Structure 1
Amino acid sequence: MLQHDLRAGLDEIIGGVDRVLAFEVEPQKRAELERIRVSGEELARLLDLLNGGTEARVEDAADQKATLLDIRIFLRTLERRWTCAARDRDLAFEPLISPQVPPALLVDRGLLERIAGNLLRNAFAYSGKGTVRLHLEFELPHSLILRVTDEGPGFAAEVISEAARPGARGPVARRLRPEGQGLGLSICRTLCEAQGGWVSWANRPEGGSEIKARIPVGIPASQESAAAKHTRIEELPDLTGWRTLVADDSESTRALFTHLLGAMGADVLTFSDGAGALRRLLAEPVDLAVLDVEMPELDGLEVMRRLRGSGRVWSRLPIIACSGRSGPGDHREIRMAGADLILTKPLAAVIPILHAICDVTGHCPPPAPRPRPNAPGDRLLARLLGRTGSSLPEFLSEQIVNDLRTIAQSLRVALAQGDRLILRQQSHKLIAVAGAGGDDTLTRQARALDSAARHGTYEDINELGQIALVLLDRLIVRMTEDFLEKNDFNDEYFT
């Protein structure tokens, strides 16, 4: 009961911050509020670890389920939280990521946040000056390394050999932070060792300290396969002359497949609904189709069934289905409708999508040659492959923001009218778009709204919908700012 009350209080704090962030806020105040919000979410996840008990230990994190985490979005979340904390202490914070780190990893996010939080908290408390840097690195076999360096006094000689022992603190540490208990490094070591990893620490020759935490992680099979190919240009399919069709009510998804298929030489037709897609599929030959399962007017399942049963010569064309449904029963239904391959939304990175295109086009004969005068050259594909490590928020920020604005407008109308059908459609779409945008909180809120639209009362729907709108506005503001400040995706890649 105490855990429930604590969680309710935290939800009120987070919700209050969200409501403030929905309005115009000065940049410095916005950064502080973002830090409070991220800290609140971390506390909420720590409460979830308790599972209703009072005897939770740090070792319990070893039992948490690993989930697919976009590592670059995770790093940006850390940056938003800790930049203000560093500024409060007249320090600089610099997060860095090695190019060898895969774009998505199977890891317990809560565990990762606890380790990074303890390491950074110690560095800020004891360094006293200069820059604190967090380096994310990757080592074989499948290990993520968190390396934190600072420019402070380093470990005292009398405690460096046992710095990870609970309560081990030198005189400088006691003077700089008399209230400290000397538990941060001990907690990190316990968490890492429970996962089969380790923690090491040392003083740097140039001054300051360096702490490395190693955590075993998983890599999705599609990323391993793509990495094994070394992404050589000739290993991507040459789809010059292919007629391809993409049907999805999400602008960002349509733009993504248009870029990727177009860079391989294909002609791409796009549709935002199933009815228009089906008419085109039945009218003329198509060599490859990418279909969203959940679409207005006619869903992807029905499009596939009608196409497969049409008797058209090209009705057996390869089909990639995209769906937010992830259960085994859902996937069986999608395959029975006619899908050759299923991509589960949210689509979080480019590499798995490229791998899916390679797989589905590699098992079917090429269509009859149809020359395409503007087919891309090797330089275009090389530039494309150079971007496959990017997360989708970096890759398609503008389109994701457009999707979010469209959803927000539709949700407001549906909430005012009490239209459960539109609410279900838009909340389902929001699950995919918020996931692609890297906002786990909004994704969870969208799932709750989807459930309420199916089974809940109007009061539940309205309350959840209003919170979702606040979170939507917050994500739109953040992604717009990120797009303007950090967009390094040059449009010449696709000209």
Structure 2
Amino acid sequence: MPSKKPETQQIDTQKSTMPDLALLSHDIQSAVSDVIGGVRLVDQDQLPDEAKLQLERVRTAAELLARLVENALTAPGEIGQDDLGLSNLNLPRYLENLASRWHGRAVEKGLAFSLDLPKDYPATIHINRVVLDRILTNFLSNAMKFCENGRISVKLRLDETENLIFSILDDGPGFDKAALFNLFKRAKRSDNLNQPGQGLGMFIAHDLTVQLGAEIRVKNRIEIDGSNGACVSLVLPLVVWSDPSLTNFATDFPDLSGLKILAAEDSPTLQLMVAQMLQKLGAEFEMAADGVETINWLQRESFDLVLLDIEMPNMSGIDVLKSVRKMPKPLADIPMIAMTAFVLNSHREAIYAAGADGIIAKPLTRIERFGAAILRVCQAQDLVISREVFEPDEPVISNDQLNSLLDLTDKDTRAELLRRIISDLRGVKARIAQDAKTLNYSAIRAQTHILIALAGAIGAKPLQLSSKKLNQLASKGEKDMVSQEAAYCLNLLNQVISIVEKTAKEHLDE
């Protein structure tokens, strides 16, 4: 019998190895899930700020590790991704997680860390998240290695040609000529570097950037702003980060771009349908093929909502609902929508009794109904951050609305009403300022509820929108973004108080 050719033997070896790798992946992901689950169970309210930072660093790094393992063993074209592994990514949430991971590492080294975001940038981008993670991780790791003191900043901007640019700036020594020459070569490092490493980080980043169809720009900061340090940028052209299929998509369909959804469905055909709908509606999402995989995803990553097929192998949707509702909070409270073809009253009652927040009937035929059903549950749970925008020239307060409110009262009552409005606004301002410093999320939520009503009553739309956003960010415990939005909200509050005080003085002088 003729012996096999070497290449045939190699293929056979690879095939026999894949099941072993899949089993190893399962065990690694189980271990990572235990790490993340343990971190989530820690009562962070009782910990000092530095310990909280390091726990967030562990959590986000563990989530990245799980994705790297899964990505290494996932074939291109898996449901929810195209052949390049592209999928929707919620950019604000992604940047928050990036900051959570690297802030702790910077503090450990005695460095400052900041996230510099423009006022307007895409809420959702269409990209291979793992590739983006690996590129920015190598940029940041390099900056952290060589920066001995000062600050490391992550800056995002959208240029005039709609290139999306991620820049990592540090206060380190910058690059000498030899380092710049060898920067993207494999295992080539400048001889005068005294830091450990194999010289692979920037080589890997460059290789991945080429795969994306993007560009790396490297400069010493003395060429940019005259200061010491380096600036390394990842430049994503519009065609790389946007989804062309959404360009002419109906704008009156529900917008789910602020959501991260876990969809559980065992049928490959229905997986594809659900994935296509969520993709078109702008949601960031992951797919699970059965109940056990659903639980694993929930234990290792945070989601806003779960879409859950009821008839699944290994662990049914009903069992998933019951299991999740018994988990520690906040995971136990995650909104879950059942998807089922069985919509008789008895079935519906059993699904709701198990803990579902809503039911979507199969077959899934119309994307607008599918999106509307998800949006209804989100709004009932106060989940969706308002994506309304106001124009830069929109007034801080609508004089018409404020005057209409005051016209409902006589002169004496009007003066008392204005005094109370001013007093309430000042009180909320003082409490939000204090609670933002201590990251007292429950107190921030309570104060923003008051502020949403107050701002709406007097026609302060920008303040009302900022209050809604701050409330939602506090509900999710997103630290850096809470601090940024609180600062913006307090600035608007100062302007509103000044206008109302001026209005009060005018009425008292009448």
TM-score (norm 1): 0.48
TM-score (norm 2): 0.47
